[in-house]
Structure 1
Amino acid sequence: MTTHRVRRSAGAAALALAASTLLTMGAAPAGATPGCTDESQPKDPILGLPTGDGCDDDTPPDTLLTASAPPNAAGLVATASQTFTFDSRVSDGDSGPFGFECKLTGGPQAHDWQACASPVTLTGLADASAGSYVFEVRAVDLEDRSRTPDNVLVPPTVTDTPDEDPTPASVAWGQDTRAPFVFVSRGAYDEDTPTQPVMTSATVPLRLNSSEPSSTFECTDNGTPTTCTGPKWELARPRPGRHVVTARAIDRAGNASAWSKPVEFFVPDNLTRSRGWRTVRGAGYFRGDALRTEKRGARLVLPRAKVGELRLIAPTGPGLGKVRVRVGRRDWHVVDLAGRRTALTQLTVIDRYSGMRSGRITIESLSSKPVVVDAVVARPNRFPPAD
């Protein structure tokens, strides 16, 4: 009997010790433990069974994402494929292992969160407006996700915070892979040389249009880039001579059209005053001025040129006199400026069918009657073909 009482007393003491241990463990605060990177529950070294709660790693990994074709300011890319590379970053020294989950919104390839590995390439995407596609990726702490720090047998409950990045990295974009078309036209018409009209205005009006709204334009003038805007553009104060203008359209995604067919025009040479002539000014003159003389035999001599067509730009009117013009030592051509009052009249001295000649261009007054000359068109007689 005595032995029996001793054993019962020993058993009661053991139960009391166990209860004391449970109460002590249960008194530990719930939640994350500073510096915790492993949510494993502590185990009995002999039996290998959980003996309490583990700590909660509440610092999930961050996600870094890079797109092979980042969308531009309009939210668009000009390619039908995208490659995404991504990585994880931790701030608490956690050694992982880490994995990733990806999600795609938009298009037939769309899917919810699923395991993925870097890089991810998407191909064959259809053109769509900005924001139509969204690729998201989040880093996951795989080891912590596979376990919970809470031991259901030991109170209190330890909350297991998410083990994936709560703010996934993402790229939203639209797609436009088709280049626009560009259309360039000029407003001026020249009956004699319609494919290379003579422009006497201070600016040359041109129209630029694209098959895609909101396109911008790039232009060249004689091969040199020049700033231009559509749909109406004016080339200000172009230099004398032949001009060849081309343009292309750039859509919102950055796709460029082919360069347009060349558009040509010709700008006259303004005349420089010499002895016997004086400068007169007025809004109706080419470049705002012209030369006037009442002296018989007063001459203007221009630099040597190859000439297949020669036009004299001058006003006409009652009481005006005559001038004569020649190239080099070829025949003189008389031009009568008397007649109905006009401004910026283009008087053909040598037409385009009279062959080429070269030399200095001389303009001479034939009487004491007043004459006014404004500008000269001297150019070869080869012009682009009509469309």
Structure 2
Amino acid sequence: MADVPRGHTARWATGSNARGEGGSMHAYRRAAAGAAALVAVAAALSVTAAPADAADPCYSEAQPTTGPPLDLPTGPGCDDTVPPETSIDSSPVVGGWLRATSVSITFSGRHPDADSDPISYECQFFNSVSTPTTWQSCTSPFSRDGLDENTATPYTFRVRAVDTPDNAHDLTTDAWYPASADAPDYDQRPAELSFTADATAPNTFGFLRTTYADDSGFDGPMLVANSAQVRLQSSQGTTYRCTLNRKDVACNDGLTTLRPLGAGWKRFEAAAVDPAGNVDPSPFVEEFFVPRNLALGNAPRASRGDWRRFRDPGAFGGDYLESARYGAMLSFPVRNVREIRLLAPAGPQLGRVEIRVGRGQWYRVNLSSSDPQKLKVYAVRGALSGLLAGTLQVRVASHGKPVRVDAISAR
């Protein structure tokens, strides 16, 4: 080896060492980087591949084969554990009732996943206490006629969707690779509909409760209160649709009270509604007449201070008017009037009133009686009299005796 100056030898050796070790380090670093890259790629592949494999479902239970020409099985078929779902789309049943003796029900099924196998259906229809154990093939819509009405046990319709090819293949019977189990390929929660058939409308019965026996020639009786009570009954159910002069009013089974009632003719109708929703086509009808309650507002200006109002629960409308001034007047317009009746108290200390329509004759009514009554009906003009129209007037016709008047029936 050639002599080299001291000091330079150390530097040369050091430099030579640095070059040799530097090459090894670079190679090591390159290898480590490559390994890290491979690990990263493998990690990335494992992260993306795992969910795909885990989410890979079985849509068909057909056994895999080698294909033509031998077409031999190569392993067991997979088990499709997700059956189709079933829904009832439409039916005439409302609230558990069918207002007919025939029914038509539409239904459908769907796969909740990407399964594309064809779907068929199986149905049950019964009205027995126990559920049948067998199912029948069916198609939508399901129809049935001649149903019995109001059976003790409701009718029940059940339908389930079936994965047709998978249901036809039993994995446990495969000759080469039999499976230990095969999950059902039909909907385990069938769609269900229960109902009772009732196509017969109910009958409605009723009568007007009144304490006054009106024997006039009119079709509808006159009331002696501004309220009416009607008792209702039905051949089926306890629900009714009621109207008063064609406007809906509340009513109920048993006793219905209509209040307060304005003056004039009233027509009350009640139609029973059975639980199935059938409505009586020929409702109960009651017509009656409500007198006009006399009020201080009926006094013209000249007589406005001549009348006083007294409350009395036994009076028509709960009050009556009293005046002791001769000629004190009450008035209101009427038309097409034949019969006139005055509703007023009777007593030994009471005087007289006179009543007329327009410029017609005055009809005198004596309120004096040895038999006191809180409310008495006085016949003023008969039902067969001629028609009148104009202003009906009531005036005090006695001196020194008070008169009490309550209501007027002018019809």
TM-score, length of structure 1 as denominator length? 0.83
Q: 2:276 aligned to 253, 256, 265, which one?
A: 253
- Tell me which residue corresponds to 2:239: 216
Q: Aligned AA for 1:348?
A: A
Q: 1:357 aligned to 388, 392, 398, which one?
A: 388
Structure 2 residue runs of 5 or longer lacking an equivalent are 1-53
Q: Aligned AA for 2:101?
A: A
Q: Contact 1:76–1:129 at 8 Å: present in 2 too? A: no
In structure 2, the CA distance between the partners of 1:362 and 1:202, relative to structure 1 (3 Å rule), is closer
Q: 1:98 aligned to 97, 119, 125, which one?
A: 119
Mapped partners of 1:35, 1:191: distance in 2: 87
- Tell me which residue corresponds to 2:164: 142
Mapped partners of 2:294, 2:55: distance in 1: 91
Structure 1 residue runs of 5 or longer lacking an equivalent are 1-31, 380-387
| 2:186 is the alignment partner of 1:164 | yes
| 1:85 positional shift | 1.3
| 1:149 positional shift | 3.6
In structure 2, the CA distance between the partners of 1:295 and 1:78, relative to structure 1 (3 Å rule), is same
Q: Contact 1:76–1:130 at 8 Å: present in 2 too? A: no
| 1:158 positional shift | 3.8
Q: 2:102 aligned to 71, 81, 84, which one?
A: 81
- Tell me which residue corresponds to 2:407: 375
Q: 1:237 aligned to 249, 260, 266, which one?
A: 260
| 2:350 is the alignment partner of 1:313 | no
| 2:211 is the alignment partner of 1:181 | no
| 1:169 positional shift | 0.8
Number of corresponding residues: 342
Q: 1:201 aligned to 216, 225, 235, which one?
A: 225
Q: 2:145 aligned to 123, 126, 129, which one?
A: 123
Q: Contact 1:198–1:265 at 8 Å: present in 2 too? A: yes
In structure 2, the CA distance between the partners of 1:312 and 1:132, relative to structure 1 (3 Å rule), is same
Q: 1:69 aligned to 92, 98, 114, which one?
A: 92
| 1:33 positional shift | 8.8
- Tell me which residue corresponds to 1:58: 81
Q: Contact 1:67–1:82 at 8 Å: present in 2 too? A: no
Q: CA RMSD in A?
A: 2.1
| 2:318 is the alignment partner of 1:294 | no
| 1:315 positional shift | 0.3
Give the SS at the match of 2:108: strand
**Deviations 1:205-245 (CA, angstroms, capped at 9, x unpaired):** 11111111x23111111122212112211111111111111
Q: 1:342 aligned to 373, 376, 380, which one?
A: 373
Q: Contact 1:130–1:175 at 8 Å: present in 2 too? A: no
Mapped partners of 2:191, 2:319: distance in 1: 66
Q: Contact 1:33–1:57 at 8 Å: present in 2 too? A: no
Q: Contact 1:248–1:259 at 8 Å: present in 2 too? A: yes
| 1:293 positional shift | 0.7
TM-score, length of structure 2 as denominator length? 0.79
Give the SS at the match of 1:66: strand
Name the structure with the higher helix share: 2
Q: Aligned AA for 1:320?
A: L
**Deviations 1:184-223 (CA, angstroms, capped at 9, x unpaired):** 21122312357322212242011111111x2311111112
| 1:261 positional shift | 4.9
**Deviations 1:298-348 (CA, angstroms, capped at 9, x unpaired):** 111222433200011110101111111111111111111111210111101
Mapped partners of 1:55, 1:158: distance in 2: 11
Greater length-normalized contact order (CA 8 Å, ≥ 6 residues apart): 1
Give the SS at the match of 2:281: coil
Q: Percent identity?
A: 37
Mapped partners of 1:265, 1:186: distance in 2: 9
Q: Contact 1:40–1:148 at 8 Å: present in 2 too? A: no
In structure 2, the CA distance between the partners of 1:82 and 1:101, relative to structure 1 (3 Å rule), is same
Mapped partners of 1:60, 1:268: distance in 2: 73
Mapped partners of 2:85, 2:149: distance in 1: 31
